[in-house]
């Protein structure tokens, strides 16, 4: 009669217990530990640590995926010297994430190409690593989505889903005016987020012109009131990074041209 080796049963149990890292590493680590004459509890501790680290990593990755960032950007790739108007100490403070515990908002205002979306994404990515539920939208995308949901009579469900986030990024409140219904739905989102979910809004519009985009003075006032009650404002007023970058590249390309014979 054949006896099943214990590893088969062990691996079955590890799968059932959802311990993929223990399953992957238990043999190799056992070998290392026996060479090092490590005791059993230490072996078990090291396995448990690996599982825990991988589990955190996996859930961060899940949260980043769920946030639906259009491009992944981090602070490491942000060059503050290229945009001296940006309050770097404030950005670094926000990276710690406490503003979300206080349900504070962040408003990034400035010209196109000054790194607003980059910084908003970097803040969102960091929030994901801190275990926060994050969702990124362009403002237009969000409004379109809400209007569709209303058509399908599932608006309330979507609004409830949005409420479950710790942070929502609303990117590019821009020059394109909303329909009355669109503006009202945006207001509904901001209103429900108030004191529940932190918002990061990026825009190239000074406050004075928000009424033109949102259509109604009363609604703009009420929206700004909620958005700016507890807010960190970051202004980016330098030259477009994209523009500067391509100028720099052009400048570099020129002397590289073959000299005329």
Interaction of residue 73 with ligand ADP, rule CB under 6 A: yes
Q: Does 82 bind ligand ADP (CB under 6 A)?
A: yes
Rounded to the nearest whole angstrom, what is the least distance from the CB of residue 80 to ligand ADP in the complex?
Answer: 6
Q: Does 117 bind Mg ion (CB under 5 A)?
A: yes
Decide if 183 contacts 214 (C-beta within 8 A).
yes
Q: How far is the CB of 186 from Mg ion (least distance, A)?
A: 17
Q: Give the interface segment with ligand ADP, choosing from 37-45, 57-65, 71-79, 92-100 (CB under 6 A).
A: 71-79
- Assess 79 for contact with ligand ADP (CB under 6 A): yes
Contact partner at residue 118 from ligand ADP, Mg ion, none, CB < 5 to 8 Å by partner kind: ligand ADP
Q: Of these, 99, 105, 107, 115, which contacts ligand ADP (CB under 6 A)?
A: 115
In Å, how far are 109, 178, 211, 234, 236 from 208, measured between CA atoms? 13, 16, 7, 17, 17
Distance of CA 76 to the CA centre of its chain: 15
Residue 88 has phi, psi (to 5 degrees) of -60, -45
# of chain residues touching ligand ADP (CB under 6 A): 16
Taking a C-beta distance cutoff of 8 angstroms, is the pair 237, 114 a contact? yes
Q: Which is nearer to Mg ion, 114 or 197 (CB)?
A: 114
Residue 178: name its binding partner from Mg ion, ligand ADP, none (Cβ under 5 to 8 Å by kind): none
Question: Distance between CA atoms of 66 and 104, rounded to whole angstroms?
Answer: 22
- CA–CA distance, 109 with 205 (Å, rounded to integer): 7
Cβ(14)–Cβ(26) under 8 Å?
yes
CB of 82 or CB of 155, closer to ligand ADP:
82
Residue with tokens 């590019």: 172
Q: Which residues bind ligand ADP (CB under 6 A)?
A: 73, 77-79, 82-83, 112-118, 202, 241-242
């Amino acid at each position: 009669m054949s006896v099943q080796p214990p590893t088969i049963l062990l691996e079955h149990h590890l799968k059932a217990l959802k311990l993929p890292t223990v399953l992957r590493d238990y043999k190799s680590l056992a070998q290392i530990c026996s060479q090092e004459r490590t005791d059993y509890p230490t072996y078990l501790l090291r396995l448990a640590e690996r599982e825990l680290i991988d589990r955190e990593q996996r859930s961060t990755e899940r949260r980043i995926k769920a946030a639906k960032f259009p491009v992944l950007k981090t602070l490491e790739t942000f060059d503050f010297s290229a945009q001296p108007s940006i309050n770097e100490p404030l950005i670094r403070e926000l990276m710690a994430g406490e503003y979300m515990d206080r349900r504070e908002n962040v408003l990034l205002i400035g010209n196109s190409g000054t790194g607003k979306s980059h910084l908003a994404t970097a803040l969102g990515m960091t929030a994901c690593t801190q275990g926060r539920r994050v969702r990124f939208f362009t403002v237009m995308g969000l409004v379109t989505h809400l209007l569709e949901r209303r058509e399908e009579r599932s608006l309330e469900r979507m609004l409830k889903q949005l409420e479950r986030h710790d942070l929502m990024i609303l990117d590019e409140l821009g020059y394109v005016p909303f329909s009355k219904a669109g503006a009202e739905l945006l207001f509904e989102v901001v209103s429900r987020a108030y004191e529940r979910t932190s918002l990061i809004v990026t825009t190239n519009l000074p406050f004075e012109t928000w009424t033109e985009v949102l259509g109604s003075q009363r609604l703009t006032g009420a929206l700004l009131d909620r958005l700016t009650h507890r807010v960190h404002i970051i202004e980016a007023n330098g030259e477009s990074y994209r523009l500067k970058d391509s100028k720099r590249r052009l400048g570099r390309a020129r002397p590289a041209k073959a000299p005329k014979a």
